[in-house]
């Protein structure tokens, strides 16, 4: 029985429920949620291994046969993303122990954390378009709570905007699913794909495809729809920003990837071209923000927008190198964004400010933090031994073989600007004399606390280094994922068992 496909969803769900019962006993909450995410990582490793050996695994929930019941499908892309999610989840959880504060911990922080994982893992693993909507809502509800938890004034203001945007996009999601259902008459993704292929994607399906692009673009922050992101991601505490920045936008991108490779691939001249046209301004806008700001959080937040554009561009290419580059880059970006947010969180903890102009000379007192940040920065920009390199290289080769030279140039230049934006943090924050306004700079910070906070961030950077150096070993998994995306028949046959 393929019940293991459902375990990455079930485990955090049960943990979250049990955690509600003793919400005031913080120590027990911490231990239980830590055990749960460790078990989660074991499960997802087993899942990746099984999918690697046996091909796509599909679970027919409730024992109803595929197009009639809900199918949970783990192909290589989904299982790799689930594995990445649990690795990032464990680091952010450990970071939360020392930084989130007792007030938030007492008010259901850990249960909501688990429910967010339920939503993310569910969205990655589902094979049913309406079930995808439900898991999106699970994820968004949890993110509303995490965003507003604590109740400071900026948090209230930004969560109002965030909820408004997401309620509208969710309504649009339902409407789009309704259109799709009225045209094809089924909700199972494999079955939808088969019926669209039979009809040869008439105009109305292309309209629906563009509506899906708008919906997932709102969730994933693509160019004209990204406006809510910089404000909303600025206000919550650091571990929550890391969780959002690393994972939430990637769920939107995963959905675009899934729908555009599995369902709407017959009229690529229109849909995929549109995605490519939107991806390039996304990169440019992100670059402008990342270079323009002198605020640690804003710089990294705009780097999310750049990465969204790069991944979307890879999807729009629809050739093997472009897609595998996208997948490689997405996994890299989840890890490195979480690491960068945690690292600037440590910097903010030490200096008490996120304004880069007020920080200088950290390297003297905190060399380990400085060099970890340096490696993370190089990795973000895609310097060869580190993990950003392989993904971008594949993407660029895909762009050349697809003849997209504008995108090629924009991605190369954007890498330079990404490097500039994070090196700006390194050079201004870590080099130079310690800031003159403080007599004994940063020495009074709680060193034990800093060490504890630094540990999960350094762990993520280490994972990222391994991911980059061992690209040769990782590549078979990525190419297996790409193969499924390039040939929807593999997916359809695995789900519908023909």
Partner 1 sequence: MKTNDLILQTVTKVASPVIFLFSIYIFFGGHYSPGGGFVGGLLASGAIVLLLLSYDIKTVANILPIDYKLVVAIGLLIAALTGTGALVFDAPFMTHAYQYFDLPIIGHTSLHTAVLFDLGVYLVVIGVTMTIIQTIGESE
Q: Rounded to an integer, what distance in angstroms lies between the CA atom of residue 453 and that of residue 448?
A: 9
Q: Which of 334, 326, 330 has the alpha carbon at shortest distance from 397?
A: 326
Judged by CB under 8 A, the chain residues 22 through 51 that form the site for partner 1 are 23
Q: Is 448 in the site for partner 1 (CB under 8 A)?
A: no
Nearer to partner 1, 18 or 383 (CB): 18
Q: Which stretch binds partner 1 (CB under 8 A): 13-21, 288-296, 423-431, 473-481?
A: 13-21
Q: Which stretch binds partner 1 (CB under 8 A): 54-62, 75-83, 276-284, 366-374?
A: 54-62
Q: Which stretch binds partner 1 (CB under 8 A): 3-11, 262-270, 394-402, 478-486?
A: 3-11
Q: Rounded to an integer, what distance in angstroms lies between the CA atom of residue 160 and that of residue 167?
A: 11
Q: Rounded to an integer, what distance in angstroms lies between the CA atom of residue 114 and that of residue 93?
A: 10
Q: Which stretch binds partner 1 (CB under 8 A): 15-23, 301-309, 387-395, 452-460?
A: 15-23
Give me the least distance between CB of 24 and partner 1, in Å please.
Answer: 11
Q: Is 353 in the site for partner 1 (CB under 8 A)?
A: no
Nearer to partner 1, 106 or 357 (CB): 106
Q: Hey, which residues does 74 pair with through a beta bridge? A: 57
How many C-beta atoms surround the C-beta of residue 62 within 10 A? 8
401 Cβ contact list (under 8 Å, min separation 6): 319, 321
Q: Is 3 in the site for partner 1 (CB under 8 A)?
A: yes
Q: Is 105 in the site for partner 1 (CB under 8 A)?
A: no
Q: Is 199 in the site for partner 1 (CB under 8 A)?
A: no
Give me the least distance between CB of 254 and partner 1, in Å please.
Answer: 22
CA 16, distance to chain mean position in Å, is 21
- Lay out the site mask for partner 1 across 58-97 (x = CB under 8 A, - = otherwise): -xxxxx----------------------------------
β-pairing, 57-60 vs 71-74, is antiparallel
Nearer to partner 1, 6 or 181 (CB): 6
Q: Are 5 and 72 in contact (CB under 8 A)?
A: yes
Nearer to partner 1, 63 or 437 (CB): 63
| Binding-residue total with partner 1 (CB under 8 A) | 17
Q: Is 437 in the site for partner 1 (CB under 8 A)?
A: no
Give me the least distance between CB of 154 and partner 1, in Å please.
Answer: 21
Q: Rounded to an integer, what distance in angstroms lies between the CA atom of residue 237 and that of residue 243?
A: 10
Nearer to partner 1, 32 or 172 (CB): 32
Q: Rounded to an integer, what distance in angstroms lies between the CA atom of residue 42 and that of residue 401?
A: 39
Nearer to partner 1, 1 or 448 (CB): 1
Nearer to partner 1, 61 or 486 (CB): 61
Q: Rounded to an integer, what distance in angstroms lies between the CA atom of residue 183 and that of residue 204?
A: 8
126 Cβ contact list (under 8 Å, min separation 6): 70, 71, 72, 73, 132, 135
Rg (CA), the chain: 22
Nearer to partner 1, 59 or 287 (CB): 59
Give me the least distance between CB of 13 and partner 1, in Å please.
Answer: 6
Give me the least distance between CB of 107 and partner 1, in Å please.
Answer: 11
Nearer to partner 1, 79 or 482 (CB): 79
Q: Rounded to an integer, what distance in angstroms lies between the CA atom of residue 58 and that of residue 78?
A: 12
Q: Is the dihedral of CA 371, 326, 418, 297 positive or negative?
A: negative
Q: Is 14 in the site for partner 1 (CB under 8 A)?
A: yes
Q: What are phi and psi of 442, to 5 degrees?
A: 60, -5
First CA to last CA across the chain, in angstroms? 18
Nearer to partner 1, 1 or 102 (CB): 1
Give me the least distance between CB of 37 and partner 1, in Å please.
Answer: 18
**With 0-12 CB in 10 A as exposed, 13-18 as middle and 19+ as buried, what is 460?**
buried
Q: Hey, which residues does 59 pair with through a beta bridge? A: 72
Q: Rounded to an integer, what distance in angstroms lies between the CA atom of residue 225 and that of residue 253?
A: 13
Residue among 20, 171, 413, 443 that touches partner 1 (CB under 8 A): 20
Q: What are phi and psi of 244, to 5 degrees?
A: -65, -50
Q: 462-488 burial, b if ≥16 CB within 10 A, otherwise e?
A: ebbbebbeebeebeebbbbbbebbbeb
Residue among 12, 17, 128, 387 that touches partner 1 (CB under 8 A): 17
Nearer to partner 1, 10 or 26 (CB): 10
Give me the least distance between CB of 103 and partner 1, in Å please.
Answer: 17
Q: Is 53 in the site for partner 1 (CB under 8 A)?
A: no
Residues within the interface to partner 1 (CB under 8 A) = 1-3, 6, 10, 13-14, 17-18, 20-21, 23, 59-63
């Amino acid at each position: 029985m393929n019940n293991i496909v459902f375990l990455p969803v079930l485990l955090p769900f049960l943990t979250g429920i049990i955690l509600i019962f003793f919400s005031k006993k913080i120590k027990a909450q911490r231990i239980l949620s830590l055990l749960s995410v460790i078990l989660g990582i074991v499960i997802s490793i087993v899942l990746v291994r099984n999918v690697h050996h046996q091909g796509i695994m599909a679970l027919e929930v409730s024992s109803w046969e595929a197009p009639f019941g809900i199918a949970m499908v783990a192909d290589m892309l989904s299982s790799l993303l689930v594995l990445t999610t649990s690795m990032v989840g464990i680091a952010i959880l450990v970071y939360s122990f020392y930084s989130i504060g007792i007030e938030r911990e007492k008010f259901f922080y850990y249960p909501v954390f688990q429910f967010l994982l339920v939503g993310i893992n569910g969205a990655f693993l589902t094979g049913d378009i309406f079930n995808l909507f439900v898991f999106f809502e699970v994820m968004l509800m949890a993110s509303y709570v995490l965003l507003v938890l604590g109740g400071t004034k900026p948090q209230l203001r930004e969560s109002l905007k965030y909820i408004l945007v997401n309620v509208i996009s969710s309504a649009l999601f339902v409407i789009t699913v309704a259109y799709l259902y009225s045209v094809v008459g089924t909700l199972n993704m494999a079955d939808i794909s088969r019926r669209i292929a039979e009809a040869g994607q008439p105009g109305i399906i292309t309209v629906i495809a563009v509506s899906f692009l708008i919906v997932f673009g709102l969730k994933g922050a693509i160019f004209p729809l990204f406006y809510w992101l910089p404000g909303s991601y600025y206000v919550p505490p650091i571990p929550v920003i890391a969780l959002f920045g690393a994972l939430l936008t990637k769920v939107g991108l995963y959905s675009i990837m899934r729908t555009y490779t599995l369902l709407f691939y017959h009229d690529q001249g229109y849909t995929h071209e549109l995605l490519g046209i939107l991806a390039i301004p996304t990169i440019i806008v992100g670059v402008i923000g990342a270079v323009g700001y002198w605020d640690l959080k804003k710089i990294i937040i705009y780097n999310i927008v750049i990465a969204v554009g790069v991944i979307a561009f890879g999807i729009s290419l629809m050739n093997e190198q472009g897609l595998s580059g996208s997948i490689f880059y997405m996994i890299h970006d989840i890890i490195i964004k979480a690491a960068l947010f945690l690292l600037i969180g440590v910097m903010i903890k030490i200096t008490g400010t996120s304004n880069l102009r007020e920080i200088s000379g950290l390297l003297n007192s905190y060399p380990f933090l400085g060099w970890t940040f340096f490696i993370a920065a190089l990795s973000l920009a895609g310097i060869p031994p580190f993990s950003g390199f392989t993904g971008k290289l594949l993407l660029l080769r895909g762009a050349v073989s697809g003849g997209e030279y504008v995108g090629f140039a924009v991605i190369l230049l954007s890498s330079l600007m990404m490097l500039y934006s994070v090196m700006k943090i390194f050079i201004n924050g870590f080099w130079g004399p310690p800031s003159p306004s403080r007599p004994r700079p940063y020495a009074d910070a709680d060193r034990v606390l800093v060490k504890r906070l630094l540990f999960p961030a350094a762990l993520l950077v280490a994972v990222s280094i391994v991911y980059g150096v061992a690209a040769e070993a990782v590549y078979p998994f990525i190419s297996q994922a790409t193969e499924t995306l390039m040939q929807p028949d593999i997916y359809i046959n695995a789900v519908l068992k023909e």
